A and B are shown apart, each in its own frame.
Chain A
Amino acid sequence: MPVQYYIFLSIALFCIGVMGVLMRRNAIIIFMCIELMLNAVNLLLVAFSKMWADAGRVDAGSAQLFVFFIMVVAAAEVAVGLAIITMVYRNTHSVDINILNRLKN
């Protein structure tokens, strides 16, 4: 199975995530699109690790642990980010990011 298949799948998922970040106004949906982009990159990392492990260059375990650490960081990021969104909602009663264009007053 050619690795291009996974490359194109990851690129498509990543671009859908970029599109969502640019198109939507809802802060929660933007956050979910960021998760989607992170997952596209993770998928590509796993595909490349399998590819180079088959070629005998690296061991696949290190790359998979790298993906594992990315998931750890993503989980921490989601916890803090959702807390921030909740606080924004409490202060402005909306999750529209256009309200946040002025962070002053």
Chain B
Amino acid sequence: MVLSVIALVSALGVVLSKNPVTSVLCLIVTFFTIAGHYIMLNAQFLAVVHIIVYAGAIMVLFLYVMMLMNLNAELEPQKRNWLKYAGAISGGALLVVLVAALRDASMPAISTEASEMGLIKNLGQLLFTQYVVPFEVSSILFLSAMVGAVVIGKKD
């Protein structure tokens, strides 16, 4: 419960803060709370990978790009304020519609007992036997993404 409140507040901080660096820090807090939820859902390996990949790699990449661009105190043009309200209203309308649609759905409850499935031993067994082809495909995806990023980011 506390984790969820922190997640929602920091997610709002991402959207509403003026300073992009504050947004990044709020997003890191959100990712940590989501990792806490993963641990509560018996997905320990996912929680650790989530922290390493998102808070460790992706957010550092964001901060680097922000540092390179030097837009700490960048002023976003604030004209056309109605567009902002339109965005907020349509997002809120989506929230209302989804909550209203799913409020009465009946689903089985989540039990709180621990299971061993989220540990790295079982997941690794599954990853290298049943899902070995997607694993290799994702490695090719990473290679092509790396080459693409270098080609795009290169000074021409």
Which chain A residues have a beta carbon within 8 Å of chain B's beta carbons? 1-9, 11-13, 15-26, 28-29, 31-33, 35-36, 39, 42-43, 46-47, 49-55, 59-62, 64-65, 67-69, 71-80, 82-87, 89-90, 95-96, 98
**What is the chain B residue whose CB lies nearest that of A62?**
B126
A33 and B14 contacting across the interface, CB-CB below 8 Å: yes
Contact of B34 among A4, A20, A43, A65 (CB under 8 A): A43
A64 and B102 contacting across the interface, CB-CB below 8 Å: no
**What is the chain A residue whose CB lies nearest that of B117?**
A60
Given the known interface contacts A19-B87, A36-B14, A46-B38, the answer about A29 and B146 at a Cβ–Cβ threshold of 8 Å is no
CB neighbors of A among B38-91 (8 A): 38, 41-43, 45-46, 49-50, 53-54, 57-58, 61-62, 65-66, 68-69, 71, 74, 76-77, 83-84, 86-88, 90-91
Which chain A residues border B118 with CB–CB below 8 Å? 60-61, 64
Chain B, interface residues (CB within 8 Å), range:
35 or more
B15 and A87 contacting across the interface, CB-CB below 8 Å: no
Q: Apart from A75-B53, A75-B142, A83-B153, what 20 extra A-B contacts exist at CB < 8 Å?
A: A1-B110, A1-B112, A15-B95, A16-B11, A22-B86, A23-B87, A24-B15, A24-B76, A32-B23, A46-B43, A46-B46, A47-B41, A54-B111, A60-B43, A61-B123, A71-B53, A72-B141, A73-B138, A75-B57, A80-B148
Which chain A residues border B142 with CB–CB below 8 Å? 72, 75-76
B53 and A51 contacting across the interface, CB-CB below 8 Å: no
A49 → chain B closest CB, angstroms: 8
B116-129: contact bitstring with A at CB < 8 Å (1 yes, 0 no)? 01100011001100
B133-156: contact bitstring with A at CB < 8 Å (1 yes, 0 no)? 010001001100110111011010
Contact of A3 among B62, B107, B148 (CB under 8 A): B107
B110 and A69 contacting across the interface, CB-CB below 8 Å: no
Which chain A residues border B99 with CB–CB below 8 Å? 8, 11
Pairs across A and B, CB under 8 Å, 18 listed: A2-B110, A3-B109, A4-B105, A5-B4, A11-B95, A17-B11, A29-B23, A31-B62, A39-B30, A39-B34, A54-B108, A64-B117, A68-B49, A71-B53, A75-B53, A76-B141, A80-B148, A82-B149
